[in-house]
Amino acid sequence: MNLATAFQKYARGENGQLILKFSGTDHLCKISIENGEAVYIKLGNMDVEDVLEFVVSHDPVEVSFIKGFLPKKKLPAPITDRILKPGERKANREELEVRGEYSPGEMISVAKVNKAINKYVDMVGPLGAVMLENILKKLEYTKNNPMPADDFAYLMNELIKDVPQDMRAEFMEAVK
């Protein structure tokens, strides 16, 4: 059974968790489903983009579904289309894992944005400043202004990728 068939069979209009076993990995892939939409995906310690790339290119060897399981974590937007139609891509900001709970339309304060930026540059170094500028340019962000919550979640996800693994918890704690 391929992923699209499994998703349509078990998750249509349901709340629950689709659990997939793939050959070649010891971890189970868990897809949180809310009202028939995939709202979160996890496979071992892989980031969301890597998991999506993996699951659309492999067929599961085992599939199960836990009906009624409510998701504890959600991505900014459902990823159902990315799973069922892997060739189609949505805007990158909607695909990444949210670090923190923000309401749609909420604005993040200048102080918090600057704190994240400064801590990142302190931890990553001078090259971090260059990479940061590229991310801010992509977001069309003007310094010393509040930032929309969706953009801030995207920013945090991009920054955390460059922070050394052993310093990530410290980074996230400092930015809270």
Q: What total of structural domains would you count in the chain?
A: 2
- Region of residue 37 (phi > 0: left; psi between -120 and 50: alpha; otherwise: beta): beta
99 belongs to a structural domain: no
Please write the tens of the pLDDT for every residue from 127-157.
888 888 888 998 889 888 899 888 888 888 8
The first and second tokens of residue 52, run together, are 């999506």
Q: Which structural domain, as residue segments, surrounds residue 81?
A: 3-94
Name the DSSP class of 4: H
Name the DSSP class of 36: T
10 belongs to a structural domain: yes
The first and second tokens of residue 147, run together, are 């930032």
100 belongs to a structural domain: no
How distant, in Å, are the alpha carbons of 39, 56, 101 from that of 31? 7, 13, 19
67 belongs to a structural domain: yes
User: Of 62, 94, 126, which residue constitutes the final position of a domain?
Assistant: 94
Check whether residue 17 and residue 86 sit in a common domain. Answer: yes
User: Of 26, 61, 94, which residue constitutes the final position of a domain?
Assistant: 94
pLDDT for residue 109 is more than 60: yes
Residue 27 has a pLDDT of: 92
User: Of 60, 94, 128, which residue constitutes the final position of a domain?
Assistant: 94
Dihedral angle computed from the Cα positions of residues 47, 75, 139 and 135, in that order, rounded to the nearest 10 degrees: -10
Please write the tens of the pLDDT for every residue from 88-99.
433 333 333 444
Give the confidence band of 176 by pLDDT, cuts at 50, 70, 90: confident
Please write the tens of the pLDDT for every residue from 18-75.
999 998 888 999 999 988 888 999 999 888 888 888 888 888 899 999 988 888 888 8
Check whether residue 23 and residue 86 sit in a common domain. Answer: yes
